[in-house]
Amino acid sequence: MLWDKPGTRIYEASKDTPEGLVFPSVRDGKPMRDNNILSRHMKPAGRRLGIGFVNWRRPRTSHASWLKMAGADVKDAQAQIRHSRASTTLDIYQQFTLESQRWVVNVLSGLGSKRVQ
């Protein structure tokens, strides 16, 4: 653990390997409790980014929505988020975005201008 400025702690990853922990405990290097990770790392990062409320579901919802905007198939998103049903991914995690709606309208506009020969 390092001290950046008075009262501010910086936590380091335990190892630079796939087996290394991203958030090791300061005391013994073992995994941190999930509520500590949320309060010490995720919520402060969310505040710095201007994101209001941050919980464990927020990154999953964002990831699912970004996959949708990138054009990923719902089954690919389901597999990455590890849902047992695609309906969970579609109904709960993939959110409506104006960017994806604009993209769909632009694609449909392009289809109407093509002639069928």
Mean pLDDT score of the chain: 81
Per-residue pLDDT tens over the stretch 36-45: 889 988 999 9
Q: What is the pLDDT of residue 111?
A: 77
- Separation of alpha carbons 89 and 74, rounded Å: 7
* Confidence check: pLDDT of 65 > 80: yes
pLDDT at 1: 46
pLDDT value for 15: 58
% of the chain exceeding 70 in pLDDT:
78
Q: What does the alpha-carbon distance between residue 29 and residue 22 come to, in Å, rounded to a whole number?
A: 10
Determine the Cα angle at 91 with ends 88 and 97, to 5°. 130
At residue 30 the predicted structure's pLDDT band, cuts being 50, 70 and 90, is confident
* pTM of the model as a whole: 0.61
